[in-house]
Amino acid sequence: MARQRRVPVHEAAEEAREAAEAERLPEATRPESLEVEDLREHLPGIEPDRQVTDWGRSERVEGVLDRTLVDFLYHYWFRVSVEGVDGVPDGNGALLVSNHSGALPPDATMIAKAIKEEHPRPRPLHITVEHFFKGYPGFAMLLPKIGAVPAHPANVHRLLYDESQLVLVFPEGRKGSEKLYKDRYRLRRFGRGGFVAAAMRAQVPIVPVCVVGAEEAQPIFAHLRLLQKLTGLIYVPVTPTFPLLGPAGMLGYLPAKFAIRFLDPIPTDQWGPEPWEDSGLVQTVAEQVRDLIQRNLLDMLSKRSSVWLG
Amino acid sequence: MDTRRILITGLSTFWGGRLARALEDDDAIETIIGVDVDDPTVALDRTEYVRVSNQHTLIRRIVAAAEIDTVIDTRLAVDSTVAPPRLAHENNVIGTMNILAACSGPESPVRKIVMKSSAHYYGCERDDPAFFTEEMRRPHPPKTPIERDIVEAESAVRDFADKHPAVTVCVLRFANTLGPGLRTSHTRLFALPAVPCILGFDPRYQFIHEDDIVGCLEHAARHDLAGVFNAAADGVLALSEVADLLGKPLAPVLPPWGTGLVAKPLRRAGMRFPSELLNQLRYGRGLDNRKLKTSGYGYRYTSREAVQQLAKQLRLAPILRDAREPYRYEQEVEEFLRYSPSVRRGQH
């Protein structure tokens, strides 16, 4: 019953790997396991002839992009260096939580690519995006194909719990990606802690992720409110290449050096049964995760001697 | 509870007819009675057809006289191209209330009601979950008449279930249906030379094959399933995938803005986009079908296989046109076959 005790997050992070490896709770002792375990057995089977998953993810589109643009950006443009990727669970579900930046944020794709390239057991990463994109032409078509999923709690739960997948969330949301260059690397509010509740419900660990470089790759100097209203987009930023080079300027990334640090997983089954009902606890954990990422970001930045060379 | 004496409403619909035919093979079922305002459209062996409107006093007399223990309601119209909105409302909302009224009362013999409903109950919106489960509510109130009707009909059924705990009430919410015997707005659109879509959108679609429709209704008739169940085949396809399987290109004929304005003249040109379908073409919909699976039902087709079946049928359609003699209901013939002493059982 030692697990019932509330453990501060940073201690918990150290225990995480042991806990994950040594004694995994027997299935039957998990709450609600009997009822829901049945449902997991009834997930639709995989049809090998299909190239698109039930979520709309297309192997073909993703593969083409991965081999061309993403590969180039990862290896040659951003020259991504990665630490601690081995800590990402290799079989079960896990919720990756990261800081967010860049007008058309390149961080999500780079984290996904890092797991694909460096992890001993590469797995697809599902990226949660705002519902807005499901309703905007073009985005609605492309984003699901490359692994984006609308950030609905039910979607996150199904991916994490029922399908044991990796899910990436940006709790800052658009507040992170629309912030101006002068506010770089200062984390915004972490939503309302919904990501913590989601991980608790799904009984999967939280993996904090810190990304350095995305802020400088596409700095935002100002916002064009009028154009935003006319296009109905969530924001229209002024970046070094946009609107100077037209719409294609949105893809104009500066060659900043990227560094991604995966922190140790934080187990979410340490707070007894149904911890998500305790909103105070949820908020506290969310705040602790935010602190942890902020501290690590500052640590990475203090060691960086050049924005472009790392 | 044993299901022995069944009343099927909406016998002339595809659903009711096929279901009656499937149940006829079971000798444990003593009686099958079908009611509708139109003649049956499939040949039936021993199902008795009564032409009656949805008036509850008449149906109540039939229920009481035949000691019906199970009512299967397949009458709900879920496609607004089938009937004008006022008729559909009459059928869906008032009709459902009348059927339920016919089954209520302390001396009613009815012990089970199975209602066919539709996934339109959930609607299609931007902030939907990717997979609706049965206990989820739609995030926004319905905007199209057919969706309003379905929500209203279901709430009437829920009220009935609350007031009659002794009656097993089962609601089946069906995904978009496909099959050689069915003509829906979707099969009509898929039969066009190119699959129409909204520019910049590739919605997720889930289907159910007509054999599974009959299978699900039969499963619900034979077992005691209480509550709401989603009925949808495994697999959610992107519309582009559907077009691929049909071997047709996607045609973005509808603009992302002002979709409704453009849909109107297109309707006149033969592409009929009912209003509830426009939202589906934009946002798509997926259902969690696991609750029905845990109750023991196994789907025969996946969504993909259902579309493949449709592709086969569409390729044959120009060749087989008018080749099959349609079934015609003749009251005298049917009555002769059922009741005349000259007819030897199983020989006609």
Question: What is the least distance, in Å, from the CA of A41 to any CA of chain B?
Answer: 9
**Bridge partners, residue B115, by sequence:** B73, B171
**Tokens linked to A188:** 């915004």
Average pLDDT for residues A197-226, to the nearest whole number? 94
Reported as a single tens digit per residue, the pLDDT across A68-97 is 999 999 999 999 999 999 999 988 999 999
* DSSP character at residue A58: B
How sure is the predictor about A182, in pLDDT bands with cuts at 50, 70 and 90? Answer: very high
How sure is the predictor about A201, in pLDDT bands with cuts at 50, 70 and 90? Answer: very high
Q: Decide if B283 and A135 are in contact by the 8 Å CB cutoff.
A: yes
Whether the pLDDT of residue A247 is over 90: the answer is: no
Q: What integer pLDDT is reported at residue A33 of this predicted model?
A: 39
Q: What integer pLDDT is reported at residue B345 of this predicted model?
A: 66
Spell out which residues of chain A touch residue B290, defining contact as CB-CB under 8 Å.
39, 42-43
Q: What integer pLDDT is reported at residue B275 of this predicted model?
A: 87
Reported as a single tens digit per residue, the pLDDT across B204-256 is 999 999 999 999 999 999 999 999 999 999 999 999 999 999 999 999 999 99
Among A47, A51, A136, the residue with its CB nearest the CB of B235 is: A47
Q: What is the 3-state secondary structure (H, E, C) of B167-199?
A: CEEEEEEECEEECCCCCCHHHHHHCCCCEEEEC
Q: What integer pLDDT is reported at residue B346 of this predicted model?
A: 59
CA A196 to chain centre: 13
Element (H, E) at B157: helix B145-163
Q: How far is CA B306 from CA A48, B219, B302, in A?
A: 16, 19, 6
Question: What is the least distance, in Å, from the CA of A43 to any CA of chain B?
Answer: 7
Q: What integer pLDDT is reported at residue B83 of this predicted model?
A: 80
Spell out which residues of chain B touch residue A154, defining contact as CB-CB under 8 Å.
129-131, 133, 136
Spell out which residues of chain B touch residue A52, defining contact as CB-CB under 8 Å.
237-238, 241
Q: What integer pLDDT is reported at residue B208 of this predicted model?
A: 96
Q: Decide if A55 and B130 are in contact by the 8 Å CB cutoff.
A: yes
Q: How far is CA B64 from CA A156, A211, A247, B70, B339, in A?
A: 50, 72, 71, 12, 22
Q: What percent of chain A has pLDDT over 70?
A: 88
Minimal Cα distance from A45: which residue of B? Answer: B234
**Which residue blocks in chain A are alpha helix, DSSP H?**
9-21, 33-41, 59-65, 71-72, 107-118, 139-145, 153-157, 174-177, 194-202, 214-217, 225-231, 279-303
Q: What integer pLDDT is reported at residue B139 of this predicted model?
A: 85
Question: What is the least distance, in Å, from the CA of A163 to any CA of chain B?
Answer: 13
* DSSP character at residue A29: G
Average pLDDT for residues A126-148, to the nearest whole number? 94
Query: Chain A: which residues have CB within 8 Å of chain B?
Result: 38-39, 42-45, 47, 49-52, 54-56, 58, 131-132, 134-141, 144-145, 149-150, 152-155, 158
**Average pLDDT over chain A, rounded to whole?**
87
- Better pLDDT: A269 or B326: A269
Whether the pLDDT of residue A185 is over 90: the answer is: yes
**Tokens linked to A124:** 């697809």
Q: What integer pLDDT is reported at residue B323 of this predicted model?
A: 59
Minimal Cα distance from A60: which residue of B? Answer: B241
- Please answer whether residues A274 and A297 qualify as being in contact, where contact means their C-beta atoms are separated by less than 8 angstroms: no
Q: What integer pLDDT is reported at residue B340 of this predicted model?
A: 84
**Tokens linked to B120:** 């339109």
Residues B190, B243: Cα–Cα separation, whole Å = 8
Taking only the tens of pLDDT, chain B with its 348 residues reads 677 899 999 998 888 999 999 999 888 999 999 999 988 888 888 899 999 887 788 999 999 999 999 999 999 888 888 788 888 998 999 999 999 999 998 889 999 999 999 999 999 999 999 999 999 988 889 989 999 999 999 999 999 999 999 999 999 999 999 988 788 889 889 999 999 999 999 999 999 999 999 999 999 999 999 999 999 999 999 999 999 999 999 999 999 998 888 888 888 877 888 888 999 999 999 999 999 999 999 999 999 999 999 999 999 888 877 656 677 888 888 888 888 888 876 554
Annotate B162-196 with b (16+ C-beta within 10 A) or e (fewer).
eebeebbbbbbbbbbbbbbbbebbbbebbeeeebb
Q: What percent of chain A has pLDDT over 90?
A: 69
User: Most A CBs within 10 Å: which of B293, B295, B301, as the mutation test of the A interface?
Assistant: B293
Helix, coil or strand: residue B140: coil
**Tokens linked to B104:** 């209520």
Q: What integer pLDDT is reported at residue B266 of this predicted model?
A: 85
Which amino acid makes up residue A180? L
Residues B175, A236: Cα–Cα separation, whole Å = 38
Among A49, A131, A149, the residue with its CB nearest the CB of B126 is: A131
Minimal Cα distance from B305: which residue of A? Answer: A47
Helix, coil or strand: residue A97: strand
Q: Of B217, B304, B232, which is closest to residue B22 (Cα–Cα)?
A: B217
Q: What integer pLDDT is reported at residue B324 of this predicted model?
A: 61
Among B200, B235, B236, the residue with its CB nearest the CB of A141 is: B200
Q: What integer pLDDT is reported at residue A32 of this predicted model?
A: 41
Minimal Cα distance from A139: which residue of B? Answer: B200
Q: Of A269, A286, A271, A206, which is closest to residue A7 (Cα–Cα)?
A: A271
Q: What integer pLDDT is reported at residue B336 of this predicted model?
A: 85
Average pLDDT for residues A177-194, to the nearest whole number? 90
